[in-house]
Amino acid sequence: MPSTLHPLTSLTAAGCTAVITTAAGCWPLSLAVACAAAVLAARADVGRRVLAAAAAILLPLGLSLLMLHGLFFPEGRTVLAAWGPARVTAEGLAFALEAGTRTGACVLVLLLFSFTVSAPDLVAALAARGLPPQFGFVLASALTLLPAMAGRLEAIRAAQEARGLVVGGGVVSRLAAVRMQMVPLVLGLIEDSGSRAQALDARGFGSPGPRTAYRELADPPAHRRLRAVLLLLAGAAVALRLWTSWPDAGLL
C-alpha cells in the first residue's frame, strides 16, 4: 500500500532516521528503530516483502560480521572461548552486535521507504524541484524494475515448464535452468529497451527546454516544517557524534 506522506517527507524521514541511528551508534536504539520499521511495514501490508528483502541482505552480512568480529577481534580482552587463533571475545561480540543492529536498522528503514513510496509521486516531486527528468525516470524505472523482472521471469518459467523443462533439485539442474531463463529475459529486456527508447524519444523525452507536470502533489506546510526539523536533527546528531569522538581521535 503506497504511503500517503509526501514522497520527499518519507524520503527525508527514512534518510534522517538512518543518519541519526548511524551517528548514535547505540544498539538498543538501532534495535528499536529496526522494530519500528518492521511494525510500520506490517501495517502498510508490505511486511513480508520488506522482511524477505532485508533477510536476503542482512543474513550474509550478519554471518560475516560474526565471523570477522566475533572470532577475530584484536582489541578483544574478555575471552569467552578460543580455538587456536580464533577467540570469541565479549568485546568482539558487542562490536558485531552494534554493527549488525545499526546496519539492520538502516536497511529496514530504507526498504520500508522503497516499498511504500509511490514512484510516480517521487518522480513528480523531484521534477518539481528542478531535478532533470531523466534522473527521475531512471529512479522510477529502478524502483519498478525488480517487480517487473520478477513478473517476467515467472512468465518465462511457466512458458518453459509448459514446454516440458523440469527443474530438478540438483545444483547443476538449477544452474542450467537459470541459463535457460536468462537468455529470453536478457534478449527480451534488450529488445524492450530499444523500442522503449525510440518511443520515449518520439514523445519528446530527450528534448531540451522547460517541462511541465500533469500530476499535482499536495505539499502541506506541516510536511515542509517536519522535513526541516528532521534535517536539523540529523545534522545535530552528526555534529554531536563528531564532537564527542573528536578528542579521542586527536589523542590517537
Partner 1 sequence: MTSTEPAAALGAPMTSTEPAAALGADAVLAARIGTFSFHGETAAALRDIEICVRPGTLTAVLGGSGSGKTTLGKLLAGWLRPGHSGTFTGSLAQAGEVLEFSGGHDDPRINPSAWSDRVGYVPQDAAAMLTTVRSTVAEELAFGLENRGIARPDMVRRVARVAELTGLAALLDRDPATLSGGELRRLAIACAVIQAPGVLVLDEPLASLDAAGIIQARNLIGRLTGAGTAVVVLSQEADGLARSASHWLVLDGGTATAVGPPRELIRSPELARTGTVIHAVTHTAVTPTPVAVRDSARQPAAVPALELEGVGFSFPRADGTGGEPLLRNLGLAVPPGGIVAITGRNGAGKSTLLRHLNGLLRPDTGDVRVSGTTIAGLPAGRVAASVGLLFQHPRDQLFERTVLREVSFGLRRLVGKDARAKAHEALDAVGLAGEAGVHPAELPASKQRLLALATVLARQPAVLALDEPTVGMDRHGLERLQHATAAAAARGVGVVMVTHDLAYARANTHRVLALDGGSLREL
State the residues that interact with partner 1 by CB under 8 A.
Answer: 118-120, 123, 133, 137, 140-141, 144, 148, 155-156, 158-167, 179-181, 183-184, 187-188, 192, 195-196, 198-207, 209-216
Question: Cα–Cα distance between 136 and 120 in angstroms, integer?
Answer: 9
The DSSP element (H or E) to which 79 belongs, if any, is strand 79-83
Distance CA(55)–CA(61), nearest Å, equals 10
Distance between CA atoms of 195 and 187, rounded to whole angstroms?
13
Residue 197 or 242: the one with the smaller Cβ distance to partner 1 is 197
The CA-atom distances, in angstroms, between 104 and each of 48, 75, 135, 252 are: 16, 24, 28, 30
Q: How far is the CB of 107 from partner 1 (least distance, A)?
A: 25
Kindly provide the b/e burial profile for residues 117-143, where b requires at least 16 CB atoms within 10 angstroms of the residue's own CB. Answer: bbbbbbbbbbbeeeeeeeebeeebeeb
Closest approach, Cβ 79 to partner 1, in A, equals 51
The smaller minimum CB distance to partner 1, of residues 63 and 145, is found at 145
Specify the DSSP class assigned to residue 81: E
Question: Closest CB to partner 1 among 77 and 203?
Answer: 203
User: Taking the complex as a whole, how short is the minimal distance between the CB of residue 73 and partner 1, in angstroms?
Assistant: 46
Q: Which is nearer to partner 1, 214 or 243 (CB)?
A: 214
- Residue 162 vs 171, nearer CB to partner 1: 162
CB of 240 to partner 1, least distance (A): 39
Q: Least separation, in Å, of the C-beta of 230 and partner 1?
A: 26
